[in-house]
């Protein structure tokens, strides 16, 4: 329990990426007195990780919506997310899984892709989780907008 309490005092990135393996193993946790903690700690860690994934998903959707407003105003998608600040966003959208990092964005193959590097903390280039692998092993958290190739409009 102390590991979770200590993680709350750290920066968001450190707390968001704390895994069950980072919780120190203590023989006292194996005593009958701490049985409930031993059962609940992994569930709390998964719930917290799910919460951070939801924040990343919401951030990608927000960036996509702001880019649509930019598209409406300028007739094309922004070249970078920096083009959205400060007129459309007060600051660049942060990626909760990278310490000082921001959301990634690209336009190609008739799609605008907004993504977070996800729980594996690696930039997989805006690819979704691979079939057969869990969300903690591969893939990014992304939101795609289909675009008309001829003029960049939806």
Greater pLDDT, 152 or 41: 41
pLDDT, one tens digit per residue, over 45-98 is: 778 777 888 888 899 999 999 999 999 999 999 999 999 999 999 999 998 888
Helix, strand, or coil here: 81?
Answer: helix
Cα–Cα distance, 51 to 64 (Å, whole number)? 20
What's the confidence (pLDDT) of residue 83?
93
Mean pLDDT, residues 34-42 taken together: 72
pTM: 0.68
As beta bridge partners, residue 115 has 104, 142
Report the sign of the C-alpha dihedral through residues 59, 65, 71, 73, in that order: negative
């Amino acid at each position: 329990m102390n590991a979770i309490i200590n993680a709350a005092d750290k920066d968001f990135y450190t707390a968001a990426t704390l895994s069950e393996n980072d919780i120190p193993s203590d023989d006292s946790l194996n005593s009958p007195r701490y049985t409930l903690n031993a059962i609940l700690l992994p569930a709390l860690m998964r719930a917290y990780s799910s919460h951070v994934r939801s924040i990343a998903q919401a951030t990608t959707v927000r960036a996509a919506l702001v880019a649509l407003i930019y598209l409406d105003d300028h007739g094309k998608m922004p070249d970078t997310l920096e083009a959205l600040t400060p007129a459309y966003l007060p600051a660049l959208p942060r990626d909760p899984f990278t310490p000082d990092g921001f959301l990634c964005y690209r336009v190609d193959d008739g799609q605008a892709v907004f993504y977070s590097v996800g729980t594996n903390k690696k930039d997989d280039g805006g690819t979704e989780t691979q079939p057969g692998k869990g969300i903690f092993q591969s893939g990014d958290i992304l939101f795609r907008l289909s675009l008309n190739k001829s003029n960049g409009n939806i």
